[in-house]
Structure 1
Amino acid sequence: MRPAAITTSQRPARRTRSLCRDLECALPDATYVLRGTKNLRDTVLEALESGAEVLFYVTEAKGNPARLHVIDLGEIPPRLRLSFWLGGVKLQRELFGNRVDLSGDLVITTSKRPVSGHMKVAESLSEVLGVEFVPRAGSLEDVLEEALADVLLVVEGHPRHLGTLTFYRRTEKVGPSLFYRDFRTKDERMKL
């Protein structure tokens, strides 16, 4: 996996900060870059100094996480590669009870019967993060055995949103879960 950094908008609310800390624990080799009063340019420079190649930038609206932007720092100038409009999040403490530090190799997969949109999201995330994408045909155990991984990021459907991104340790859902309503790449857009 490419090294990642995670940051927020300036003066984030507690829930947004908690989501960023959960993402730091869920993504192997990720670091949290404290934004404070710095502008985004200075934050990108600090992320580059820490060795990050990908930046997860979480913005908020009304005290809740609203958007997740994935910026590729390996390109000059850094470019926005993916953007998710969030409809809600479930933190690790809400799913599992406490914060869990996930370590090991990350693999991205989908639900058993994915729609084309979920495949596109999984492939795009896999490309940006530099991790393996394994289409799911059977159970989560089959994906883990095929990829020899410990951490799964599962892209699946949701009745009220376009989809969800959920982190698993082996076959146990530990979170965070991000419910997205809109997904954009540099070339296309998928909306609910």
Structure 2
Amino acid sequence: MVVLITSSHRPSRRTRSFLKDLNKVIPNSLRVNRGKKTFDDLALIALNNGLKYVLIVSEVNANPLRITIYGVYEQESKLVRLAELRLSGVKLLREIPDSQIPLNIRKLVIDPKDLDVLNKVGGLDKFLEALRAEIKPVDSIVSVGDYMLVKPKKLDGDLELSFICLGTMKICGPIIRVRRVITYG
């Protein structure tokens, strides 16, 4: 496993659903209910499970507002903030017509044709590194059932990230609209 996914202390129902959707589309991720856990507790959970990153979803007015990416610093068992995605909106899997629930997804892939869209938004590399997304041409993939495509699209000044199952070419994850990315250190 690579990523621990959790929320702020008292998440709304919508944020909990968003976390479940993220857990389904990120291979080898572990979702933890935050409760009263501190950052040190989250770092210990991540270290005990051999995880390198922690994603914390924060909310405003019961809607996910930001995804903060932390790296796990092993020597002191602390979290180091790497990047923050400011969101302008999310669309949950259940809100998307003709979507499907992803099954047995082993890898995320980004088509090299979409790299120019991603490069226009600086700092997104930390998020994609935490997701362990590979850059690979879609037409070269043999076992399409194991892969999910991360499809970026520029929309009204925001970046929209969609998750598409390659076997059926249907959306099978939340649609995330990123307003801006802030990198630290």
Residues 58-112 of structure 1, C-alpha deviations (whole Å, 9 max, x = no match): 0000111010011122565432222111111011111245643451221134638
> d(CA) in 2 for partners of 1:155 and 1:73?
27
| Residue equivalent to 1:190 | none
Q: Point out where structure 1 has 5 or more consecutive residues left out of the alignment.
A: 188-192
| Residue equivalent to 1:150 | 147
| Residue equivalent to 1:184 | 182
Say whether the 8 Å CA contact 1:25–1:102 is kept in structure 2.
no
> d(CA) in 1 for partners of 2:103 and 2:37?
28
Mapping 1:51-70, distance limit 5 Å: 51-70=50-69
TM-score (norm 2): 0.81
> d(CA) in 2 for partners of 1:126 and 1:88?
19
Percent identity for Structure 1 against Structure 2: 28
Mapping 1:23-38, distance limit 5 Å: 23-38=22-37
Residue 81 of structure 2 corresponds to residue 83 of structure 1: no
Matched pairs, number: 179
Question: Closer, same or farther in 2 for the Cα pair 1:25/1:115, shift >3 Å?
Answer: closer
Question: What is the aligned-residue RMSD (CA, Å)?
Answer: 2.8
TM-score (norm 1): 0.78
| Residue equivalent to 2:105 | 103
> d(CA) in 2 for partners of 1:123 and 1:89?
20
Q: Point out where structure 2 has 5 or more consecutive residues left out of the alignment.
A: none
Question: Closer, same or farther in 2 for the Cα pair 1:182/1:126, shift >3 Å?
Answer: closer
> d(CA) in 2 for partners of 1:124 and 1:163?
15
Say whether the 8 Å CA contact 2:87–2:178 is kept in structure 1.
yes
Question: Closer, same or farther in 2 for the Cα pair 1:133/1:124, shift >3 Å?
Answer: farther
Question: Closer, same or farther in 2 for the Cα pair 1:101/1:58, shift >3 Å?
Answer: farther
